[in-house]
């Protein structure tokens, strides 16, 4: 059958004639129907073209945070989010949301990664923070990120000024920044307290300049008279530079090791030249004998009385303050029975004058007579000094009568 024959058969068919008649008599209905069909077609076309689909709104803490194709997407997102949150049990702390069926377009469906971001950033359960760990254990978590400043301040707190320092915590201290559960966050002051109780070991290289005091040497010369006392070389302090390694724990010294010691200046010994040539008492003074038969043991004008006999302290002699080296003369003739050093009297001499009378001369710098030597009144026997139990250059003079120390002042004309 050819096409033309088929067409003629179709036109002459009974159903076609009926349909044609129906269309002719119900034009409005048919127009409406065709409009409906056209609309339906348009809807189908747009569903296919735009990608309208069913999905689920994710409601978390009363807030829609994402739209997902199915609940499995959220489960994936939960795993991704847990990996990006620093809190250890983050996965268990992500709430189970409510899923509400919704119509949406494919483009508006969120990926697992996007939902993970939304869990972290839009739920309010997690915040950016820094955690402090001591020996692997998290002890504090703060939103302020100035833990490093606090840690550095603590670590360097025990530096020794002017030294080369290195310091470290004795515990393993770490910080980690990231997202943490809001409930983990503590106040910065709490973290500060923990940081300030950390133990710090400090090793410092300390350089110290140490003064080495000069020593004094006395040089005696018989080319100068007794009483001559001259600094012939000025003393000068030395200086030593010492480098030490000092280890401290929280500022308390644990060890100190000398690394080096260098002499910057060598001290210069002070030299004092002292005359020892005996001095003769002037004839006038020699002639100035008291009624007791004594002369004053130090020339007039060369001394002042600094303490009399008794003196409220049971003083058993008289003190004549004089310059170092001033000559001491025998108050009367006699035999030297003692000449030596004692811790109390220092360099001292005792002369026996006979008839139970003795004189003692103490705290001398030098002695010019020896035991057994016979001395005449006015002979130089010693020089003033500050030896033994003495606090300044002076002669302590005693007169002993029958082993009793009496007031010497009347004997030498000083009362
Ligand atoms: Zn005295």
Residue 373 lies inside a defined structural domain of this protein: yes
Q: How far is the CA of 415 from the centre of ligand 1 (A)?
A: 16
Q: Which of 163, 179, 198 is the C-terminal boundary of a domain?
A: 198
Do residues 97 and 186 share a domain? no
Do residues 133 and 148 share a domain? yes
Do residues 286 and 407 share a domain? yes
Q: How far is the CA of 317 from the centre of ligand 1 (A)?
A: 5
Identify which has the larger pLDDT, 169 or 41. 169
Residue whose tokens read 């002070």: 270
Q: How far is the CA of 339 from the centre of ligand 1 (A)?
A: 18
Q: Please give the pLDDT value at position 85.
A: 92
Q: How far is the CA of 379 from the centre of ligand 1 (A)?
A: 22
Domain extent at residue 232:
207-248+255-274
348, 361 contact by CB (below 8 A)? yes
Identify which has the larger pLDDT, 86 or 337. 337
Residue 7 lies inside a defined structural domain of this protein: no
Q: Please give the pLDDT value at position 319.
A: 97
Helix (H) or strand (E) holding 135: none
Q: Which of 124, 139, 170 is the C-terminal boundary of a domain?
A: 124
For residue 156, pLDDT over 60 is answered with yes
Q: How far is the CA of 387 from the centre of ligand 1 (A)?
A: 12
Q: What's the DSSP call for residue 13?
A: -
Domain CATH for 292: 2.70.70.10
Residue 15 lies inside a defined structural domain of this protein: no
Q: How far is the CA of 388 from the centre of ligand 1 (A)?
A: 11
Q: Interior CA angle at 354 toward 350 and 360, to 5°? A: 20
Q: How far is the CA of 283 from the centre of ligand 1 (A)?
A: 28
Do residues 400 and 309 share a domain? yes
Q: How far is the CA of 319 from the centre of ligand 1 (A)?
A: 5
- Whole-prediction pTM: 0.54
Q: What's the DSSP call for residue 26?
A: -
Q: How far is the CA of 89 from the centre of ligand 1 (A)?
A: 91
Do residues 172 and 266 share a domain? no
Q: How far is the CA of 397 from the centre of ligand 1 (A)?
A: 7
Q: How far is the CA of 352 from the centre of ligand 1 (A)?
A: 19
Q: What's the DSSP call for residue 94?
A: S
Do residues 156 and 108 share a domain? no
Q: How far is the CA of 377 from the centre of ligand 1 (A)?
A: 22
Residue 112 lies inside a defined structural domain of this protein: yes
- Which ranges of 274-335 does DSSP label H, i.e. alpha helix? 283-287
Q: How far is the CA of 311 from the centre of ligand 1 (A)?
A: 10
Q: How far is the CA of 316 from the centre of ligand 1 (A)?
A: 7
Indicate the number of domains in the chain: 4
Q: How far is the CA of 353 from the centre of ligand 1 (A)?
A: 21
Q: Please give the pLDDT value at position 1.
A: 53
Residue 298 lies inside a defined structural domain of this protein: yes
Do residues 265 and 295 share a domain? no
Question: What distance in Å separates the CA atoms of residue 165 and residue 290, rounded to the nearest whole number?
Answer: 77
Residue 2 lies inside a defined structural domain of this protein: no
Q: How far is the CA of 292 from the centre of ligand 1 (A)?
A: 21
Q: What is the mean pLDDT of the chain?
A: 90
Q: How far is the CA of 359 from the centre of ligand 1 (A)?
A: 13
Residue 400 lies inside a defined structural domain of this protein: yes
184, 210 contact by CB (below 8 A)? no
Do residues 116 and 154 share a domain? no
Q: What percent of the chain has pLDDT over 90?
A: 71
Question: What distance in Å separates the CA atoms of residue 338 and residue 415, rounded to the nearest whole number?
Answer: 28
- Which ranges of 123-222 does DSSP label H, i.e. alpha helix? 147-155, 188-195
Least confident of 40-44, 63-67, 317-321, 407-411: 40-44
Least confident of 108-117, 245-254, 266-275, 277-286: 277-286
Least confident of 122-131, 307-316, 338-347, 388-397: 122-131
Residue whose tokens read 């001559």: 228
Question: What distance in Å separates the CA atoms of residue 294 and residue 332, rounded to the nearest whole number?
Answer: 5
Q: How far is the CA of 414 from the centre of ligand 1 (A)?
A: 15
Tokens, residue 217: 């040497």
Q: How far is the CA of 337 from the centre of ligand 1 (A)?
A: 20
Residue 3 lies inside a defined structural domain of this protein: no
Helix (H) or strand (E) holding 83: helix 71-84
Domain CATH for 220: 2.20.230.10
Do residues 408 and 319 share a domain? yes
Q: Which of 158, 178, 198 is the C-terminal boundary of a domain?
A: 198
Q: 358 forms bridges with which residues in the sheet? A: 352, 400
Do residues 387 and 311 share a domain? yes
Q: How far is the CA of 398 from the centre of ligand 1 (A)?
A: 8
Q: How far is the CA of 380 from the centre of ligand 1 (A)?
A: 20
Q: How far is the CA of 314 from the centre of ligand 1 (A)?
A: 10
Phi, psi dihedral angles at 301 (to 5 degrees): 85, -10
Question: What distance in Å separates the CA atoms of residue 329 and residue 280, rounded to the nearest whole number?
Answer: 9
Q: How far is the CA of 344 from the centre of ligand 1 (A)?
A: 11
Question: What distance in Å separates the CA atoms of residue 73 and residue 53, rounded to the nearest whole number?
Answer: 16
pLDDT digits (tens, 9 = 90+) for 4-48: 776 677 666 676 667 667 777 777 777 777 777 877 776 666 666
398, 360 contact by CB (below 8 A)? yes
Do residues 42 and 70 share a domain? yes
For residues 93-109, give the mean pLDDT.
91
Do residues 179 and 220 share a domain? no
């Amino acid at each position: 059958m050819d096409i033309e024959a088929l067409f003629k058969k179709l036109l002459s068919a009974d159903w076609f004639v009926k349909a044609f008649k129906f269309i002719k008599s119900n034009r409005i209905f048919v127009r409406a129907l065709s409009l409906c069909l056209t609309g339906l077609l348009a809807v189908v076309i747009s569903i296919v073209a735009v990608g309208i689909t069913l999905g689920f709104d994710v409601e978390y803490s009363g807030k829609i945070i994402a739209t997902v194709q199915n609940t499995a997407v959220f489960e994936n997102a939960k795993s991704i989010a847990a990996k990006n949150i620093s809190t250890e049990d983050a996965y268990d702390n992500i709430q189970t949301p409510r899923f509400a069926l919704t119509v949406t377009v494919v483009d508006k469906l969120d990926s697992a990664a996007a939902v993970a971001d939304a869990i972290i950033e839009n739920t309010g359960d997690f915040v950016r923070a820094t955690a402090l760990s001591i020996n692997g254990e998290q002890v504090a978590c703060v939103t302020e990120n100035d833990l490093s400043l606090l840690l550095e301040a603590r670590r360097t707190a025990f530096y020794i000024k002017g030294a080369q320092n290195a310091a470290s915590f004795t515990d393993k201290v770490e910080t980690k920044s990231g997202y943490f559960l809001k409930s983990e966050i503590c106040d910065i002051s709490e973290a500060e307290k923990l940081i300030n109780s950390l133990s710090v070991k400090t090793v410092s290289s300390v350089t110290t300049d140490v003064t080495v005091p000069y020593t004094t040497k006395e040089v005696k010369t018989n080319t100068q008279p007794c009483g001559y006392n001259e600094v012939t070389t000025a003393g000068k302090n030395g200086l030593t530079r010492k480098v030490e390694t000092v280890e401290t724990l929280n500022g308390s010294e644990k060890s100190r090791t000398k690394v080096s010691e260098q002499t910057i200046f060598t001290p210069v010994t002070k030299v004092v030249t002292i005359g020892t040539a005996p001095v003769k008492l002037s004839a006038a003074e020699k002639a100035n004998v008291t009624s007791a038969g004594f002369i004053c043991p130090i020339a007039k004008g060369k001394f002042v009385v600094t303490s009399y006999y008794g003196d409220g302290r049971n003083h058993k002699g008289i003190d004549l303050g004089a310059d170092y080296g001033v000559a001491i003369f025998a108050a009367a003739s006699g035999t030297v029975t003692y000449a030596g050093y004692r811790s109390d009297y220092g360099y001292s001499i005792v002369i026996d004058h006979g008839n139970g009378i003795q004189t003692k001369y103490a705290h001398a710098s030098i002695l010019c007579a020896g035991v057994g030597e016979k001395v005449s009144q006015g002979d130089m026997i010693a020089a003033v000094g500050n030896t033994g139990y003495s606090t300044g250059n002076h002669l302590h003079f005693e007169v002993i009568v029958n082993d009793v120390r009496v007031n010497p002042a009347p004997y030498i004309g000083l009362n």
